[in-house]
Amino acid sequence: MNILIAGEMPFLQEVGQLCIDAGHDTTLYLVEDCLSALESDDLTDDLHQVDIAIELHHESATAKQQLLRGLSKALPPHALVLTSALNTSATQAAAWVVQPQRVVGFGVLPPLAAGDVVELARALQTDDAALARAAAFWEEVGLATAVVADGPGLVRARTLCCLINEAASALMEGIASASDIDQAMQLGANYPRGPLAWADYLGLDAVLGVMTGLFAEWGEDRYRPSPLLRRLVIAGKLGQKSGEGFYKDEG
């Protein structure tokens, strides 16, 4: 199949590698590059050949809307649209797409490997055929599937990002250092990695995007982004992709 993926690191690289390993003809675009190509019509001919478009943008709902609208206008009618439902619901994303019945929400959390699980979320507009195609595709690239209710963050990202947000608040309040917070969760709660180190790997802008989406959806204080998380993103300290986040890359 011909797969087009537009998103941000590390999600873009890791989902792309699964598709490549499965033998699909896969093209990867950073969001800003894809938006520029759409604006200049450089992608029009290529999009006509796409069977599945995968969107992996979590930082800005406005950019996500522009990306999905631009892609869906040029995609062939049969193309499936898979949208990462971490900072917006699948239903919201589908509302931005031409032929919204072909949109299926999903959620993955890097690091990814064959055998991991992908959450699938059916938008209110999604038809049965699209959901079945999405499940078959993800299983073919080596991921188990679990269908969950639609909503920003789905299950794992919602839970993890809330944990990261609370850890950021604990750090801001001086309760413990970043390394001590992470060690407490790894050794004391048997987490595979510390929440702040995991945030640095995912990208603090992606974590903020999830928390912003949750807060916009529910309006509850438990989803209000930590001021420290906001400040780090404003300062461009996004984690590993910028060289500094909760930790500073010494390399």
**Structure-block tokens of residue 243:** 């060289």
Residue in the structure block whose two tokens are 């959390």:
109
Of the pLDDT bands very low, low, confident and very high (cuts 50, 70, 90), residue 183 is very high
Provide mean pLDDT across the span 84-96. Answer: 96
Residue 53 has what pLDDT? 97
CB atoms within 10 A of CB 132: 11
Which are the contacts of 100, defined by CB distance < 8 A and separation ≥ 6? 94, 123, 125, 126
Residue 43 has what pLDDT? 82
Residue 113 has what pLDDT? 83
pLDDT at 164 exceeding the cut of 90 = yes
Residue 250 has what pLDDT? 64
CA nearest to 131, candidates 96, 81, 89, 97: 81
Q: Which residue has the higher pLDDT, 145 or 190?
A: 145
Q: Please state, rounded to an integer, the average pLDDT across all residues of the chain.
A: 95
Give the Cα separation of 60 and 235 in Å (integer).
16
CA nearest to 232, candidates 240, 159, 177, 7: 240
Cα–Cα separations (whole angstroms), residue 16 to 22, 84, 154: 10, 14, 21
Alpha helices in the chain (DSSP H): 11-21, 31-39, 44-47, 61-74, 90-95, 128-140, 156-172, 178-189, 195-202, 204-218, 227-234
Q: How far is CA 211 from the centre of its chain?
A: 12
Give the Cα separation of 171 and 179 in Å (integer).
10
Residue 251 has what pLDDT? 53
Helix or strand (DSSP H, E) at 25: strand 25-30
Domains of the chain: 2-148 (3.40.50.720), 156-234 (1.10.1040.50)
Give the Cα separation of 199 and 238 in Å (integer).
9
Give the Cα separation of 166 and 64 in Å (integer).
26
Cα–Cα separations (whole angstroms), residue 41 to 70, 73, 120: 10, 11, 31
Residue 141 has what pLDDT? 95
Residue 114 has what pLDDT? 79
Give the Cα separation of 117 and 106 in Å (integer).
10
Of the pLDDT bands very low, low, confident and very high (cuts 50, 70, 90), residue 214 is very high
Give the Cα separation of 118 and 128 in Å (integer).
18
Give the Cα separation of 235 and 238 in Å (integer).
8
Q: What is the pTM of this model?
A: 0.94
Q: Does residue 82 come out as left (phi exceeding 0), alpha (psi in the -120 to 50 range) or beta? A: beta
